[in-house]
Structure 1
Amino acid sequence: MQAGLGGGSSNAAVALRGMNQLLGEPLNQTSLLDIAATIGSDCPFFINANPALISSKGEVITALEPKLLEQIKSQKWLLFRPDFGVDTAWAYARFAANATRNYESSIDAHKRLAEFTKTGNWETLMVNSLERPVCEKYIPIDVLLGTLRKQGVDCMLSGSGSCCIARVTSNAQRKKLTEMIQGAWGESVFLVETLVCDLETVGD
């Protein structure tokens, strides 16, 4: 909880899908998405949980272009969470308090996506508008992310935090990342490595 990974929303989506399957799937995909949207803004995404472009309040889901999808699939990521959480409602209120500074238009976001597709520059893609307002209060997150970026690491806050993510490019880099993170946040930090895949790949 309070990690910025959509844990509660994904649990709700899985429960909804599970009930639908147990009842013989009386609801089609559209109905599942509509119900999920009434539970939470990001719940519809977790109905399929495939890499996608999410817009509006989270209920508008657009499949990624094949080239972009291929660029991000099978990338390895290190997730690291300090021993404190960030309240989601507080983070969004903090963001809204200075929305003109923090808000990124959909036009600018699409420009970044297009640039990443063309150049493969991960720094262009890894932007989280919630990071700045959250890091203004949670200095340990701000300091560690800044340190990692100075070392050339592609990293950012996940959602509203407090979990962060960093792209893993080699075993040696993962070992160094682990040492730096534990050195900054202590041995109690939660660390796990994962990768980007589509739902059909899970369990293969």
Structure 2
Amino acid sequence: MTVSLHHCPAPAKLNLFLHVIGRRPDGYHLLQSVFQLIDRCDMLHFDLRADGRIVRTTDVPGVPEEQDLIVRALRLLADEFQRRHGRAVPGIDVAVDKILPMGGGLGGGSSDAATALMAANQLWQAGLSADELMALGLPLGADIPFFIFGQTAFVEGVGEAMQPVAGPDCWYVVIEPGVSVPTPAIFGAVDLTRDTKPVTISDFSRDQSAQNELGGFGKNDLQAVAVRLFPPVAQAVEWLGSYGQARMTGSGACVFCAVSSESKADEVVAQVPAAWKAWKAKALARHPLKSLLQNRAVVE
């Protein structure tokens, strides 16, 4: 049995567009989006224990262990393991190299939890399918199923309904404006657009085939609220907009722009004002952990 899995990537995602098309009676918003994985990743490291405990061995500023989506997801998986196999899991240590910002709209916490579920499923030999892991993670966060799905996706509902779609093969420049945007503040705003006309996956695919300008489909309905409440987001959108179609990802705060090459990304990053953190990232067609786990399984 494998006793450790180190250097497990938890990639960020970008919302290439994000439309709010309605609201359910329970208050949840109905969304349409395309989620694009990128190669900017947190890195997680897992080691089996002998005492059945689930322990986060590194500090994550601002996130107590009991509230961490990683720990909560692993506890759900441990409960499911107990139900299926009639015995307790051996336990696990989790170390986190955290680089994705919290409140950035990049899905970092959800991605960490998804990576933890996929890695522990293999380490514990729990035997859950990807669909079962997605269902297990959904109550913790609507983005978790996407990261387990693990490829560019046209997303609907509250984030749980996904279809694979071809995204652009490009580089992105991403700016962290230095603020953390709380998602409830955006979705709770009275001026949030909640009635954008629905689109179809073919609308997006046709636009990707026809357009010359990268990243031009649709809009982010949450952006208008975020730029009003958080001026640094507005400033980042305006500045990056001089290099292409700049928009916010998720509920913010990060702002991104697609560019045609790595050299162009380097050029733009070099010009970003010192007050902001900026970096480049490559679009990913598939979650990098999938290959890692498959290769380990073959070796074993």
TM-score range, shorter chain: 0.7 to 0.9
Where does residue 174 of structure 2 map in the other structure? 79
Code of the residue aligned with 1:139 in structure 2: it is P
Where does residue 103 of structure 2 map in the other structure? 2
> Is residue 130 of structure 1 aligned with residue 217 of structure 2?
no
Q: What's the CA shift for 1:52?
A: 0.8
CA distance 1:189–1:147, shift in 2 (3 Å): closer
Q: Deviations over 1:107-158 (max 9, x none)?
A: 3786355333333443532621111111112223223323433x35122101
- Kept in 2: contact 1:144–1:181 (CA 8 A): no
Code of the residue aligned with 1:93 in structure 2: it is G
Supply the RMSD in Å over aligned alpha carbons: 2.6
Q: Deviations over 1:17-73 (max 9, x none)?
A: 112111214111221111121211111001133111111011111011xxxx2x512
**5+ residue gaps, structure 2:** 1-101, 293-300
Equivalent in 215, 231, 240 of residue 139 of structure 1? 231
Choose 1 or 2 for highest CA Rg.
2
Equivalent in 190, 193, 200 of residue 280 of structure 2? 193
| Larger strand proportion of the pair | 2
Q: Report the secondary structure of 1:193's partner residue.
A: strand
Where does residue 98 of structure 1 map in the other structure? 191
- Kept in 1: contact 2:181–2:251 (CA 8 A): yes
Q: Which moved more, 1:193-202 or 1:41-50?
A: 193-202
Q: Report the secondary structure of 1:192's partner residue.
A: strand
- Kept in 2: contact 1:20–1:27 (CA 8 A): yes
In structure 2, what is the Cα distance between the partners aligned to 1:53 and 1:90? 25
**5+ residue gaps, structure 1:** none
Where does residue 115 of structure 1 map in the other structure? 207
Q: What's the CA shift for 1:6?
A: 0.3
CA distance 1:138–1:110, shift in 2 (3 Å): farther
Code of the residue aligned with 1:104 in structure 2: it is T
- Kept in 1: contact 2:177–2:236 (CA 8 A): no
Paired residues, number: 190
